[in-house]
Amino acid sequence: MNSLAAALVLIFILHLIDKHNRWKIAAKITTCLLAVTALIYGAYFAWNINEGRKREAQRIADETQRKADVQTCLGRYKKADETTDTFAEIECSKDPKSEPREKLASENHGQKNPIRLKVKWDTQLTTLNHGHTFAAYIQAGDFVTLLMRDDSFVRVKTQSGLIGWTDERNFYDIQEQDVPK
């Protein structure tokens, strides 16, 4: 119905133009309207392209800033632990504002009585305290040195020097005199 009404209006306008012989004026008006329409569309597309470039530049700037923040975070971990490991890289990539956890007394170099734990049952050590990548395998009865606690997870160092995370329930808490030298 709408197209029929538009067709009737167009036919009426063309009839009036033909009746009064105003084809030149109609052509000029139509040309001006087409030029204005093309100018508006061109301006819109140019603005849209410019906004896309601005968004891309902002994304690149944000990504560069995030990489710098991650490097700063890794520097904090390296300064605290004197090493950078997979744990620090993953923590910093998740949250560049993260801070290294405080060391336990047993983690300090030159500590005479480190906290030693005996393994209850065979278990795996992972690179993160929530389980991600396999780091080492320890057997029941082995002894490990406690490096760090985080909620119910502990970071330990095996006798062979491997470091990883596991659940603290995997260990017996023992006294220093029970540990073989």
CA atoms within 13 A on the CB side of 1: 0
Quick check: 66 pLDDT over 60?
Answer: yes
Confidence category of residue 173, pLDDT binned at 50, 70, 90 = low
Confidence category of residue 104, pLDDT binned at 50, 70, 90 = very low
- Domains of the chain listed by start with CATH number: 1-100 (no CATH), 105-178 (2.30.30.40)
Distance, CA of 129 to CA of 87 (rounded, Å): 9
Distance, CA of 126 to CA of 154 (rounded, Å): 11
First-last CA distance in the chain = 97
Note if the pTM is more than 0.85: no
Distance, CA of 129 to CA of 86 (rounded, Å): 12
Confidence category of residue 135, pLDDT binned at 50, 70, 90 = confident
How much of the chain, in percent, has pLDDT values that exceed 90?
Answer: 23
